[in-house]
Chain A
């Protein structure tokens, strides 16, 4: 005779599932927003913004150069934050086991939490818009072009700003989640950071106009022009790359990182593979269109 307890688990309704997921995503977003490796870079960015505002300094001759700061402080640091949050599920396995959600849902909610970083990137990018409106960038002499609205259409400037700023701030953390799900060993965050940075650097051509830089996860869409003393006097968009399709390309890479992270667990395999296939196709199309 068995005397064990039998648990009757009622199947969750879709509405309850959605509510649970929303609550989980909110909790993960709060964890992300409170992480010291997110707060400290944000504080540095705020300090830089204040310094910039006090100096009444816009983008000078390279109005998009500050996207590099956004990508580094929110994107690369974000990789580490997301990796830490994701591996924390493994470090507290006993506790996580008591939560009535699948690990795939936890992964998905962590991916949603990465929007915190993207939102911070968006705020920083908005500041760039305001600062460059107040203190317009100019070439030296002013007849030379700069990569801003005065010399280029908004359909070039805005996608480049988004791709190199907020989307980079989103892509880094998403990559962190994917790395942590597939390679949760000690040292994988460091390797992820190093490979991401080196791969980006190696794809960036040191020749102006190199189109192979689009292969990079953080494509540099601008070329700097310097005078004899090495000072940047003007900036132009890389002639061989369409910024709007480059934005599509990096967004598809973000989507693929989410799919890769979710594929670690067995659930919804078919739907994920279809989504992955569609995103791969879209990424390839964006890549080709960006270079055509």
Chain B
């Protein structure tokens, strides 16, 4: 496993442990929905660490493309996030507080995509380890959305109420934009000079 996956592993472990703690000791179970929401956000935030590359100045000029280089870390990270999520769902099932599987998992996937897209964008802008900023910000912004939803009295998350078409469309759009950002911002920066040279050669 590459170095990059350790924060994601730690996050998955900590998120599962916190949900277990809340499930075991919160007798009234009132805090459990909030705790699993935070755990979900933490797992999504943890995905942002998968883009970190402390040696970016060296690796970005290597012949191997960025996604081939990141593939092992991303694969391991995705497995860790999925493992953490399944553990959390199992704990919530035990306490009879499991959210709808499809909606909550879709939420997590979109949030992971958003976190990774933000990390890829920051990486593109020159931050070799964007996870340190993106991960906590995903959690805090997600909490902000939770608070806004409760204050406004209008559900924002897919699991807050029965999924209305508008909310499903919103989450789908967020996921699509995130994928677009990942594709565009995650292009091989090292390949660009070659394209420029080829274009220049063609003109000569």
Which one of A73, A76, A206 lies within 8 Å of B30 (CB-CB)? A206
Residues A181-201 near B (CB distance < 8 A): 185-187, 189-195, 197-198, 201
With A and B bound together, what is the CA distance between A87 and B140 in angstroms?
20
Does the CB pair B7–A197 fall under 8 Å? Answer: no
Which one of A185, A191, A207 lies within 8 Å of B28 (CB-CB)? A207
Residues of A with C-beta under 8 A to B82: none
Residues B135-161 near A (CB distance < 8 A): 135-137, 139-140, 143-144, 147, 151
Residue of B nearest to A76 (CB): B140
Number of A positions contacting B (CB below 8 A): 31
Does the CB pair A189–B132 fall under 8 Å? Answer: yes
Residues of A with C-beta under 8 A to B106: none
With A and B bound together, what is the CA distance between A205 and B137 in angstroms?
26
Does the CB pair B147–A80 fall under 8 Å? Answer: no
Indicate if A96 sits at the interface (CB-CB under 8 A): no
Taking chain A's interface residues, is the majority helix, strand, or loop, or is none over half, making it mixed? helix
Does the CB pair B10–A191 fall under 8 Å? Answer: yes
Indicate if B34 sits at the interface (CB-CB under 8 A): yes
Residues of A with C-beta under 8 A to B139: 190, 193-194, 197
Which one of A69, A84, A202, A204 lies within 8 Å of B132 (CB-CB)? A84
Does the CB pair B49–A186 fall under 8 Å? Answer: yes
Q: In the complex where A69-B147, A206-B30, A207-B28 touch, is A197 in contact with B38 (Cβ < 8 A)?
A: yes
With A and B bound together, what is the CA distance between A216 and B75 in angstroms?
38
With A and B bound together, what is the CA distance between A80 and B138 in angstroms?
11
Does the CB pair B14–A80 fall under 8 Å? Answer: no
Q: Closest CB-CB distance, A57 to chain B, in whole Å?
A: 12
Q: Closest CB-CB distance, A14 to chain B, in whole Å?
A: 37
Indicate if B118 sits at the interface (CB-CB under 8 A): no
Known: A72-B144, A72-B147, A202-B26. 11 other contacts (CB 8 A): A77-B140, A80-B137, A186-B7, A186-B52, A190-B42, A193-B136, A194-B18, A194-B42, A197-B143, A198-B35, A204-B31
